[in-house]
Amino acid sequence: MLTLNSRNVVLEGLAKGQRSMVLRLRQGGPEPLSLEQNEALFMQSGAAVGPGQTVLALERNANAAAHASGRIIVPDEFDYLGDGDVLAVELERPAVRVLYRRNSRHNSFLLTERCNHYCLMCSQPPKDINDDWIVDELFQAIPLISPETRSLGFTGGEPTLLGERFLRLVSVMREHLPATALHILSNGRRFVDPQFARAYAAIGHPDAMLGIPIYSASSQTHDHIVQADGAFDETVRGILNLKTCGQKVEIRVVVHQLNYAHLPVLAEFITRNLTFVDHVALMGLEMTGFAKANMDALWIDPVDYRQQLYEAAAVLQDFGLPTSIYNHQLCTIDRRIWPLAAKSISDWKNEYRLECLDCGVRERCGGFFATGRSRLSRHIRPMREN
């Protein structure tokens, strides 16, 4: 698992008086590199440092950075960093957080830890705190991101709780990164307000998609899973408002013990009532956060719902709804739906097991969450293409 955050850092010669600074890394050669205000030289041994420059160096290269005016020394495990990556440097704690890796397909930004759901399997348990600084930081980071980035994600918490600031962020994404697809994870309830749905649509982002969960066709079951009365009703009405405004919507279904049995019924519900959505993702559980705390109530071996998963996918496909299977190992699901399986786990927390070494389909298989080793399928075994 990649280290994205560390408090094991040394800061020297950096101006204080602000919570954090956001920096884009530039990688130098033998000649001094001229840096812009929000840039730091990523010091590889032998790189030339210009006057007044801020340098980020791995511990092993710390001596080479000795004569820079500002120094950020980070553990050697950050050696994967490269040109164009963007970091936040917390000046008081101190700490470093990697916000964006230019060579990754899996960059996403948490917008807030606040949420109006309390999902039983939430991987990012909500906190009722003022974390407005996160968005302040993002407003600084977005202009530093490479315009060639193919896609970025917004997550939470619930991003739409930010109201106007959420809309402003989408707008800034459109301004600075018009060719970058934006995927936003939201519970969709804020869009029950037609005015908010219209304001979102009016931004005119050319390639934005909202990923909105529906966990069951039964409103009672959905509301129980998200621990919020009335959520199902608002979510469905929110989706209808978004589609009325011509916005792209994906339905996300995390499968677990509380909803697997009725997965085909949920698929039928989607095809009858929400047939105009743009994509449906049937997803495996990440055993972290609340999912770990509620493990006994939620965990089911994917092999034990392979029939329901197959049937749900077949129903969606028969109606021509674009469908994907996320977060599942190929050896646990029906071979007939392998073509729908995507390598969906973010690269920094994606791993494989010993059994996978000898597997003929490893290149196509999504593997495992490094964050969720507590429960594994009993059916992990090497497979062949045919």
Chain residues binding ligand SF4 by CB under 6 A are 329-331, 352, 355-356, 359, 361-362, 365, 380-383
3-class state of residue 346 by DSSP: coil
Element (H, E) at 56: strand 54-58
Which stretches does DSSP call E strand in 201-360? 208-213, 248-254, 279-283, 323-326, 350-351
Rounded to a whole number of angstroms, the minimum distance from the CB of residue 286 to ligand SF4 is: 15
| Between 141 and 380, CB nearer to ligand SF4 | 380
Burial class, 134, CB count within 10 angstroms (exposed 0-12 / middle 13-18 / buried 19+): middle
The residues, ordered by sequence, that sit 6+ positions from 304 with a Cβ below 8 Å of its Cβ are 260
- CA 102 from chain centre, in angstroms, equals 15
Rounded to a whole number of angstroms, the minimum distance from the CB of residue 345 to ligand SF4 is: 11
| Between 155 and 350, CB nearer to ligand SF4 | 350
Rounded to a whole number of angstroms, the minimum distance from the CB of residue 302 to ligand SF4 is: 10
Rounded to a whole number of angstroms, the minimum distance from the CB of residue 371 to ligand SF4 is: 16
Cβ 259 vs Cβ 215: under 8 Å: yes
| Between 190 and 306, CB nearer to ligand SF4 | 306
Rounded to a whole number of angstroms, the minimum distance from the CB of residue 343 to ligand SF4 is: 10
| Between 161 and 383, CB nearer to ligand SF4 | 383
The CA-atom distances, in angstroms, between 44 and each of 68, 96, 99 are: 13, 18, 20
- CA 18 from chain centre, in angstroms, equals 27
Structure tokens at 13: 């010669």
Tell me how far apart the alpha carbons of residues 383 and 361 are, in angstroms, rounded to a whole number. Answer: 6
Rounded to a whole number of angstroms, the minimum distance from the CB of residue 363 to ligand SF4 is: 9
Q: What is the CA radius of gyration of the chain?
A: 22
**Residue 56's closest CA among 69, 40, 68?**
40
| Between 174 and 364, CB nearer to ligand SF4 | 364
Rounded to a whole number of angstroms, the minimum distance from the CB of residue 285 to ligand SF4 is: 15
Cβ 187 vs Cβ 230: under 8 Å: no
| Between 40 and 345, CB nearer to ligand SF4 | 345
Rounded to a whole number of angstroms, the minimum distance from the CB of residue 313 to ligand SF4 is: 17
| Between 107 and 329, CB nearer to ligand SF4 | 329
| Between 112 and 329, CB nearer to ligand SF4 | 329
Q: What is the DSSP string of 351-374?
A: E--GGGGG-TTGGG---EETT--S
